[in-house]
Amino acid sequence: MAAYNKADLDRRMHGAVEALKHDLQGLRTGRASVTLLDPVTVEVYGAQMPLNQAATVSAPESRMLSVQVWDKSNVGPIDKAIRSAGLGLNPIVDGTTLRIPIPDLTEERRKELAKLVSQYAEKARIAARNVRRDGMDNLKTDEKKGEISEDERKRSETEVQKLTDATIADIDAVSAAKEKEILGK
């Protein structure tokens, strides 16, 4: 059985891009987005669960989020979870609804967020390079075992490199778009 599997490498490279997109969703850009509260977990009924399993999150305006809590007894814990999530948000409790105004981002905060985007992108690039290294190692292993010829190994290494270059280009495009959105340019 050959150690090299192009479909697996492709899936793992794609996974690095998807992980980056998921990481970037949680970054605040000054506009209300329902994904902003995705990282928030709340303790309800004696268990930790994602906020979206205890309430409905919506964005009725561009600068306001609304959290409709399903069970009145969970309003306090959800309010506390949002305040302590490190997102810089202060909910206003209105019955079973929490209204969350999205404050303007300061220039300093925008620059911090842009740096964070760069860090996330670098983490994704490293993941893609690690997948490339695994692929190259597997090709060398297959050649040593005699399962593929030297020409096949070189041809496949070129494919792996093209896949890596395309993935890194995707990562750069995603991070550049997010930086542009954050910096408002």
Residue 66 to residue 59: CA distance in whole angstroms = 6
Tell me which H or E stretch contains 172: helix 150-183
Q: What percent of the chain has pLDDT over 90?
A: 28
Residue 135 to residue 133: CA distance in whole angstroms = 5
Higher pLDDT: 100 or 31? It is 100
The stretch 25-49 carries a mean pLDDT of 77
Residue 31 to residue 59: CA distance in whole angstroms = 9
User: Does residue 119 surpass a pLDDT of 80?
Assistant: yes
How many other C-beta atoms can be found within 10 angstroms of the C-beta atom of residue 126? 11
Q: What is the mean pLDDT of the chain?
A: 85
The stretch 77-105 carries a mean pLDDT of 83
Higher pLDDT: 59 or 104? It is 59
- pLDDT tens per residue, range 131-140: 999 999 999 9
- pLDDT tens per residue, range 38-86: 778 888 888 888 888 888 888 888 778 888 988 888 888 888 888 887 7
Global model pTM greater than 0.75 = no
What per-residue confidence (pLDDT) applies to 28?
63
